[in-house]
Amino acid sequence: MLKSYDNFIKLATQTKISNPELFLKRKKEICKNLGLPLPTNADIRELYEKMITQKKIKRNPDLENCLFSKKIRTDSGVAVVAVLTKSYPCPGKCIYCPDEVEMPKSYLSNEPAVMRAISAKFNPYLQVQRRIHALELNGHKTDKIEIIVMGGTFSYLPKSYQNKFVLECFRACNDYPKSRNKNQETRNNIEIKLKTEQKKNETAKHRIIGLTLETRPDYIDAEELINFRNLGCTRVELGVQSIFDDVLEKNKRGHNVQRTIEATKLLKDFGFKINYHIMPGLLGSSIKKDFQMFEKLFSDHNFQPDMLKIYPTVVIRQSPLYKIWKAGKYKALTDKSFEKFILRVKNEIIPPYIRISRLVRDVPESSIIAGPKVSNLRQLIAKNSTCPCIRCREVRSDYSLKEKIILHRIDYPSSDGQEIFLEYSTLPLLDKERAGVRSKLFALLRLRINNEKSIAPNVLKNSAIIREVHTYGKMNQINQKDNISPQHIGLGKKLILEAEKITKKEFGLDRIVVISGVGVRGYYRKLGYKLKDSYMVKKI
């Protein structure tokens, strides 16, 4: 069918219109004249790229700009690719979790990401390649990929499946755009083949710069974190849900707050970034108690996550909570109460070194029996929010070469260690943020000094740890600059040099270690770092 659109593409490439709205008008005119149904931008992009490869047409930057959609997907500087593991028994008995047949626990078959996984039969190779292709059809660069593995407690899955799943993610990126649908033979030496694909990925066109895994606090120990590092994991999403023991018990979470505290410390001591999943509105909690929970998250050094996913409790028919709600023993939050609550949390509690990556989960409204159904909460509260969190301040596409970029620093105690948060932004932190003047954030670095009693592996002993370096803005291709993005102008390098100086002068340490994503190892090698035990290490 698309072949009949050759003439449409030829006419479209001759159109000098950079405004997507004007292009849509022109698209309708051309299709009407040619007697063709209106194609999607993705359809146009697919044929456009084929015709360029066949040398039938030349690239048209104006057309490409008009075809660029869902810009937010890569405005944080990376292309996020979420993949889902197949259904395995879950160790949890949480009352709020739906338990749908042949679905990973807590996931529903009508969620967008799950539907993509089902269409690929939960094959990680196909999931990754199809998602990269979809992003490219929307006009996105996909050189720097952040893989997020969903599906619940990854630590509970058989180790052979863990290795095979992650291996296929790396292989998919290394092969793309070519595709070998048949799974690679991995019965023997899975770990060796994984290392081989990781090595390839260091110089591949599509590099995995970060790998996120989900798990529970009670499954975190030193052995598991070494396993995570061997897989290439750099960030852990931790199912915390609440930091009150009575609430955890009523919801049959299966772990207590002490396990969260212990897991948090271990993760930070090993250099991981931590993303807490927090659930307001749980059985046994209240608006007042939930607000106290958020206050404690950032006032008590035992917690202090780097990121948050805030998922309000909702009643799903397939969950045990449904019967409790139906019996009148549970009252869910409403859209209005949750919106008011989140706005207060964002304006009064959240510090500048936290990133709120999600405010609601992507559960279809038709599946929610009771609880917040609002899906565009971030947009609804944007006008009234003065939140200084990282996501609210990311520069995205709002960058100019004339920007005045200033280095800022925040020190705070965390899990028996010291955290130094460095960032390049346009305004001083804290005071002006709360006054409603929001700065633009260009780049950040998280530096950690562990306590002497830390049980982190030997490679991290007597060293400072860089847990994260991230430059925001429109994603650029590797080794390329763009006047509308702060990526690749040296901000990350300057932050690393500052971290090295702090490590040496303030803490008297002569080694610094980076928990680097596999696809970023080459970047650190250029700065004098060497690979040791899955970390990048430098003597300073």
121-125, 392-396, 397-401: range with lowest mean pLDDT: 397-401
At residue 383, the pLDDT reads 84
Angstrom distance (rounded) from CA 110 to CA 301: 39
In the structure, what pLDDT confidence band is assigned to residue 182 with cuts at 50, 70 and 90?
Answer: low
Residue 370 three-state SS: strand
11-15, 69-73, 235-239, 281-285: range with lowest mean pLDDT: 11-15
5-19, 139-153, 242-256, 358-372: range with lowest mean pLDDT: 5-19
State pLDDT tens for residues 220-256: 999 999 999 999 999 999 999 999 999 999 999 999 9
At residue 312, the pLDDT reads 97
Phi and psi dihedrals of 201, rounded to 5? -70, -20
Residue 374 three-state SS: coil
Helix (H) or strand (E) segment spanning residue 358: strand 355-358
Structural tokens at position 426:
């346009």
**Which amino acid is present at 73?**
R
At residue 46, the pLDDT reads 84
In the structure, what pLDDT confidence band is assigned to residue 429 with cuts at 50, 70 and 90?
Answer: low
Angstrom distance (rounded) from CA 256 to CA 304: 17
Contacts (Cβ under 8 Å, ≥6 apart) of 92:
105, 152, 153, 216, 252, 253, 254
Contacts (Cβ under 8 Å, ≥6 apart) of 277:
237, 238, 239, 240, 241, 309, 311
In the structure, what pLDDT confidence band is assigned to residue 437 with cuts at 50, 70 and 90?
Answer: low
At residue 50, the pLDDT reads 85
State pLDDT tens for residues 115-135: 999 999 999 999 999 999 999
Kindly tell me if the per-residue pLDDT of 433 is higher than 50: no
Angle, vertex CA 124, rays to CA 123 and CA 129, nearest 5: 105
Contacts (Cβ under 8 Å, ≥6 apart) of 461:
none
What is the pLDDT of the chain when averaged over all its residues? 91
Quickly count: other Cβ atoms within 10 Å of residue 29's Cβ. Answer: 12
- Tell which residue, 320, 334, 330, has the closest CA to residue 284: 330
Which of the two residues, 496 and 439, has the higher pLDDT score?
Answer: 496
Kindly tell me if the per-residue pLDDT of 61 is higher than 90: no
At residue 322, the pLDDT reads 97
Which of the two residues, 58 and 250, has the higher pLDDT score?
Answer: 250
CA torsion through residues 6, 11, 12, 14, sign = positive
At residue 1, the pLDDT reads 43
Helix (H) or strand (E) segment spanning residue 274: strand 273-278
Q: What is the DSSP letter of 437?
A: -
CA distances from 173 to 72, 115, 288, 330, 523 (A): 22, 21, 46, 46, 18
Q: What is the mean pLDDT of residues 531-535?
A: 97
Burial (CB < 10 A; 0-12, 13-18, 19+), residue 526, is: exposed
At residue 475, the pLDDT reads 74
At residue 434, the pLDDT reads 47
CA distances from 397 to 68, 110, 474, 483 (A): 13, 32, 5, 11
In the chain, % of residues over pLDDT 90:
69
CA torsion through residues 163, 169, 172, 174, sign = negative
At residue 15, the pLDDT reads 66
Q: What is the mean pLDDT of residues 36-58?
A: 84
Quickly count: other Cβ atoms within 10 Å of residue 109's Cβ. Answer: 15
Q: What is the mean pLDDT of residues 86-106?
A: 91
Residues in the chain: 540
State pLDDT tens for residues 294-338: 999 999 999 999 999 999 999 999 999 999 999 999 999 999 999
State pLDDT tens for residues 332-390: 999 999 999 999 999 999 999 999 999 998 888 999 999 999 988 988 898 888 899 99
In the structure, what pLDDT confidence band is assigned to residue 185 with cuts at 50, 70 and 90?
Answer: low
In the structure, what pLDDT confidence band is assigned to residue 261 with cuts at 50, 70 and 90?
Answer: very high
Angle, vertex CA 235, rays to CA 229 and CA 240, nearest 5: 115
Angstrom distance (rounded) from CA 44 to CA 8: 9
pTM here is 0.91
Sole residue written with tokens 């499954």 = 219
In the structure, what pLDDT confidence band is assigned to residue 18 with cuts at 50, 70 and 90?
Answer: low
Q: Long-range contacts of range 23-27, CB-CB < 8 Å, 24 or more positions apart?
A: 23/63, 23/66
Contacts (Cβ under 8 Å, ≥6 apart) of 198:
170, 232, 518
At residue 520, the pLDDT reads 97
Structural tokens at position 53:
């490869």
In the structure, what pLDDT confidence band is assigned to residue 53 with cuts at 50, 70 and 90?
Answer: confident
In the structure, what pLDDT confidence band is assigned to residue 179 with cuts at 50, 70 and 90?
Answer: confident
Distance separating the N- and C-terminal Cα atoms of the chain: 61
